[in-house]
């Protein structure tokens, strides 16, 4: 049982234990002197003092004449003081104040009459003079220690004769990708090749945290090779990340490699995803410094979470940056979330403000689903001692986007169609502050989300078996009191997607019993259509191979067919086209938008309706194929 060697430390304890171990071994930041021009955003490692005054001489602050103020005393509008050329010096702004002068009279107030100069007002001593040190005096502290350098701070240092400053050195963080199947990013990976994109994600996170990432070449799953490269990285870097092989399987060498050149402080944290992290350390033999070494799980979501929660506090000790304030929000969770009592769980979620209520829609929880981090607006943090949340319960969410952005988010929850992404993109091209969060939960999910006030709108295409009509019968059933508007979107063609050339000679739904099938999830409009067609064709769905295999989007079904693991699946023409599949049309259907009445006046909804009616939408749908546009964007009376 290989997993028995992993501990299950609570996260906060694990981080504290790790920091304590590192500090006991003398973890410390390094410093370097850099020119001011390179200092933007860097952290001072000691206070910076002015070397010279700014301005460094008494400077005239106006174009005009410099003089001793005393000789102007008594000048008024009726009794001007008249001056000889020898009484003053003509000066421009920035000129040094001439010796013997203590004031400047601006040129507008210098009246030249009869070859003489007249002043109709007395000058005050030191008027229009930028006195030496007015801005900064030599010796003044310009910036204290551990302060981030700003543009104005750079200007102030240069003004005060400071050409270089001592800063905290940006830690170099090595990233070692390991694994036999790992290949560099490519458009054409072979089957079984795993594209190594983690180091790109990690590098970017490190850059954002003020570190300098250094990515090493991919190393194979051989202990000796991993050890050798780790030794080299520890000697070249201030911290090292060993990616993948952090668990306790037969080819998981991270813990062993770290132990062989240093020390494993702990192995295994009670978080999900991210459990099999290895928290280690080693000594840099060339610079006699301590190097934190982190073994990170291979799945990208695990890796991101372990870096964020475990390594960031360590790196902040090396960068001397203050942790930013983490913003949280209480949100209503849109569906039941189970969680194990063994782990503290982090679940990515989309957020939106619907009808005054912040709603969290959990995303795919898979540790390998990096796209969930792209779509996420926040992270639901389920404590270790919680078994999860019921739909409608309030949960704590760590924000990834600002509340301001979340308030602007148009929340679309319902049936999947690629046209929704196109609409979102057109909105963004027209109004750059548009934000759309769309979740694919099927048509019935959309109806329920709008009904519960958790979405502004949803796409639906629901066939009513009794009447053979779309959508309206469902609205009558689920919204007997009204409160929602049905907006026409498109007519689209559903059909069977099959391999190119249709090698199995599939003609229709009646062929299903002899095929392997891939289906859509229960509650989706397409599933309801399949169930209807099965009944119409007198098929026993329990006998259809793969009828219970569920995918959540048209493209995911097409991908399954294209990969050869299913002979057919139901979907729309545009999905079949993307995958070069043959398409056997079954029936047209009406895909509409269900919009909460309260949401109708929102600017984002108005923008969306405008897009539906516009030429760009029609053009893009023509390219996708399989759509008929009648009156998109028009309200369809239904009750």
By CB under 8 A, what part of segment 451-510 binds a copy of itself?
none
147 binds a copy of itself (CB under 8 A): yes
| Subset of residues 2 to 31 that bind a copy of itself, contact rule: CB under 8 A | 3
Decide if 516 contacts 545 (C-beta within 8 A). Answer: yes
Distance CA 606, CA 481 (A): 24
Minimum distance of a copy of itself from residue 153's CB (angstroms) = 5
| Subset of residues 36 to 75 that bind a copy of itself, contact rule: CB under 8 A | 36-37, 40, 47, 51-59, 61, 63
Residue 17 Cα to chain centre, angstroms: 29
Q: Exactly one of 8, 150, 224, 393 binds a copy of itself (CB under 8 A); which one?
A: 150
Minimum distance of a copy of itself from residue 250's CB (angstroms) = 8
Q: Name, in order, each residue with C-beta under 8 angstroms of 349's C-beta and a sequence gap of 6 or more.
A: 331, 333, 360, 361, 362, 363, 376, 377, 378, 379, 380, 397
334 binds a copy of itself (CB under 8 A): no
Residue 201 per-residue DSSP state: H
Q: Exactly one of 125, 500, 503, 508 binds a copy of itself (CB under 8 A); which one?
A: 125
Decide if 462 contacts 443 (C-beta within 8 A). Answer: yes
Q: Name, in order, each residue with C-beta under 8 angstroms of 336's C-beta and a sequence gap of 6 or more.
A: 388, 389, 390, 391
* SS3 annotation, 360-397: EEECCCCCCCCHHHHHCCEEEEECCCCCEECCCCEEEE
| Subset of residues 561 to 590 that bind a copy of itself, contact rule: CB under 8 A | 562-563, 565, 575, 578-579
| Subset of residues 527 to 546 that bind a copy of itself, contact rule: CB under 8 A | 546
Point out which span in 131-139, 338-346, 445-453, 631-639 binds a copy of itself (CB under 8 A). 131-139
Q: Exactly one of 377, 454, 511, 551 binds a copy of itself (CB under 8 A); which one?
A: 551
Rank residues 48 and 447 by Cβ distance to a copy of itself and give the closer one.
Answer: 48
Q: Name, in order, each residue with C-beta under 8 angstroms of 224's C-beta and a sequence gap of 6 or more.
A: none
| Subset of residues 169 to 188 that bind a copy of itself, contact rule: CB under 8 A | 179, 181, 185-188
Structure tokens at 63: 């174009």
- Run of H or E including 256: helix 254-261
Minimum distance of a copy of itself from residue 579's CB (angstroms) = 7
Minimum distance of a copy of itself from residue 548's CB (angstroms) = 7
Q: What percent of the residues of the chain are helix, what percent strand, and what percent coil, each to the nearest 5? A: 30, 30, 40
Minimum distance of a copy of itself from residue 631's CB (angstroms) = 25
Burial class of residue 330 (count of CB atoms within 10 Å of its CB; 0-12, 13-18, 19+): exposed
Minimum distance of a copy of itself from residue 201's CB (angstroms) = 4
Minimum distance of a copy of itself from residue 1's CB (angstroms) = 7
Rank residues 176 and 462 by Cβ distance to a copy of itself and give the closer one.
Answer: 176
Point out which span in 122-130, 229-237, 449-457, 626-634 binds a copy of itself (CB under 8 A). 122-130
Q: Exactly one of 10, 17, 120, 146 binds a copy of itself (CB under 8 A); which one?
A: 146
| Subset of residues 274 to 303 that bind a copy of itself, contact rule: CB under 8 A | 300
| Unique residue bearing structure tokens 């991919």 | 218
Minimum distance of a copy of itself from residue 297's CB (angstroms) = 11
Beta-strand pair 344-354/271-272:
parallel
153 binds a copy of itself (CB under 8 A): yes
Minimum distance of a copy of itself from residue 190's CB (angstroms) = 9
Point out which span in 189-197, 504-512, 587-595, 610-618 binds a copy of itself (CB under 8 A). 189-197
Minimum distance of a copy of itself from residue 239's CB (angstroms) = 17
Q: Exactly one of 121, 163, 341, 587 binds a copy of itself (CB under 8 A); which one?
A: 163
136 binds a copy of itself (CB under 8 A): yes
Minimum distance of a copy of itself from residue 248's CB (angstroms) = 11
| Subset of residues 222 to 251 that bind a copy of itself, contact rule: CB under 8 A | 249-251
Residue 42 per-residue DSSP state: -
Residue 131 per-residue DSSP state: -
Rank residues 154 and 570 by Cβ distance to a copy of itself and give the closer one.
Answer: 154
Q: Exactly one of 212, 329, 369, 602 binds a copy of itself (CB under 8 A); which one?
A: 369
Q: Exactly one of 74, 94, 383, 482 binds a copy of itself (CB under 8 A); which one?
A: 94
603 binds a copy of itself (CB under 8 A): no
Q: Kindly tell me the number of DSSP H helices and DSSP E strands found in the chain.
A: 17, 38
374 binds a copy of itself (CB under 8 A): yes
Q: Exactly one of 32, 548, 597, 603 binds a copy of itself (CB under 8 A); which one?
A: 548
Distance CA 495, CA 459 (A): 19
Q: Exactly one of 22, 65, 104, 142 binds a copy of itself (CB under 8 A); which one?
A: 142
Rank residues 457 and 485 by Cβ distance to a copy of itself and give the closer one.
Answer: 457
Burial class of residue 360 (count of CB atoms within 10 Å of its CB; 0-12, 13-18, 19+): buried
339 binds a copy of itself (CB under 8 A): no
Distance CA 582, CA 584 (A): 7
Point out which span in 89-97, 278-286, 378-386, 471-479 binds a copy of itself (CB under 8 A). 89-97
- Site size for a copy of itself (CB under 8 A): 122
Helices (H), 25-150: none
- Could you give the string, one character per residue 412-441, with x where binding to a copy of itself holds by CB under 8 A and - elsewhere? ------x--xx-xx--xx--xx--x-----
Partners of 292 in the beta sheet? 281
Burial class of residue 269 (count of CB atoms within 10 Å of its CB; 0-12, 13-18, 19+): buried
Q: How far is CA 157 from CA 37, 48, 147, in A?
A: 10, 8, 13
Point out which span in 125-133, 444-452, 533-541, 583-591 binds a copy of itself (CB under 8 A). 125-133
Point out which span in 155-163, 261-269, 441-449, 585-593 binds a copy of itself (CB under 8 A). 155-163
- Count CA atoms closer than 13 A to 187's CA, side-chain side: 0
Structure tokens at 253: 């060498």
Distance CA 408, CA 424 (A): 13
Residue 427 Cα to chain centre, angstroms: 20
Point out which span in 258-266, 286-294, 319-327, 485-493 binds a copy of itself (CB under 8 A). 319-327
Residue 249 per-residue DSSP state: S
Peptide bond into 199 cis (omega under 30): no
């Amino acid at each position: 049982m290989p997993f028995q060697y992993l501990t299950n430390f609570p996260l906060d304890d694990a981080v504290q234990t790790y920091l304590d171990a590192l500090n006991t071994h003398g973890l410390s930041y390094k410093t370097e002197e850099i020119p001011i021009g390179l200092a933007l955003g860097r952290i001072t490692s000691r206070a910076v003092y002015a070397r010279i005054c700014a301005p460094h001489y008494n400077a005239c602050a106006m174009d005009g004449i410099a003089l001793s103020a005393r000789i102007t005393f008594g000048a008024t509008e009726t009794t001007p003081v008249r001056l000889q050329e020898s009484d003053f010096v003509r000066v421009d702004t920035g000129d040094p104040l001439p010796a013997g002068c203590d004031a400047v009279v601006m040129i507008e107030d210098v009246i030249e009459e009869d070859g003489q100069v007249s002043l109709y007002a007395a000058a005050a001593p030191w008027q229009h003079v930028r006195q030496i040190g007015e801005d900064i005096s030599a010796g003044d502290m310009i910036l204290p220690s551990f302060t981030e350098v700003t543009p104005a701070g750079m200007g102030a240092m240069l003004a005060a004769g400071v050409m270089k400053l001592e800063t905290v050195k940006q830690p170099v963080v090595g990233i070692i990708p390991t694994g036999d199947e790992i290949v560099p990013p490519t458009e054409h990976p072979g089957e079984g090749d795993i594209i190594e994109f983690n180091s790109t994600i990690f590098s970017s996170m490190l850059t954002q945290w003020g570190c300098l990432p250094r990515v090493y070449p991919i190393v194979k799953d051989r202990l000796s090779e991993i050890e050798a490269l780790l030794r080299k990285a520890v000697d070249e870097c201030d911290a090292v990340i060993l990616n993948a092989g952090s668990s306790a399987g037969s080819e998981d060498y991270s813990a062993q490699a770290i132990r062989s050149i240093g020390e494993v402080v702990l192995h295994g944290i009670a978080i999900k995803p991210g459990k099999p992290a290895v928290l280690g350390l080693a000594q840099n033999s060339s610079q006699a410094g301590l190097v934190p070494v982190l073994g990170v799980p291979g799945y990208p979501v695990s890796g991101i979470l372990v870096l964020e929660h475990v390594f960031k506090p360590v790196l902040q000790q090396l960068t001397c940056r203050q942790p930013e304030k983490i913003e949280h929000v209480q949100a209503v969770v849109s569906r039941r979330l189970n969680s194990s009592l063994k782990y503290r769980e982090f679940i990515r979620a989309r957020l939106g403000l619907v009808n005054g209520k912040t709603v969290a829609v959990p995303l795919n929880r898979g540790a390998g689903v990096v796209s969930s981090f792209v779509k996420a607006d926040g992270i639901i943090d389920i404590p270790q001692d919680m078994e999860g949340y019921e739909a409608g319960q309030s949960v704590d969410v760590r924000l990834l986007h600002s509340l301001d952005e979340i308030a602007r988010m148009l929340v679309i929850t319902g049936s999947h169609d690629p046209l929704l992404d196109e609409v979102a993109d057109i909105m963004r091209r027209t109004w750059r502050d548009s934000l759309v969060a769309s979740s694919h939960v099927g048509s019935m999910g959309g109806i329920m989300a709008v009904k519960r006030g958790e979405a502004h709108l949803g796409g639906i295409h629901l066939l009513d078996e009794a009447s053979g009509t779309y959508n309206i019968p469902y609205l009558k059933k689920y919204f007997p009191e009204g409160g929602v508007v049905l907006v026409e979107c498109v007519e689209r063609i559903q059909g069977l997607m099959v391999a190119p050339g249709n090698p199995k000679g599939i003609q229709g739904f009646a062929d299903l019993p002899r095929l392997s099938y891939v289906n859509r999830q229960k509650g989706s409009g397409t599933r309801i259509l399949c169930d209807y067609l099965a009944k119409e064709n007198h098929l026993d769905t329990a006998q259809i191979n793969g009828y219970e295999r569920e995918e959540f989007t048209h493209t995911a079904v097409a991908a399954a067919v294209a990969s050869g693991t299913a002979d057919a699946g139901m979907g729309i023409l545009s999905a079949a086209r993307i995958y070069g599949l043959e398409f056997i049309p079954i029936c047209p259907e009406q895909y509409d938008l269900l919009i909460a009445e309260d949401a109708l006046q929102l600017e984002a909804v108005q923008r969306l309706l405008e897009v539906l009616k516009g030429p760009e939408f029609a053009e893009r749908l023509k390219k996708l194929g399989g759509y008929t546009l009648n009156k998109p964007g028009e309200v369809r009376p239904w009750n």
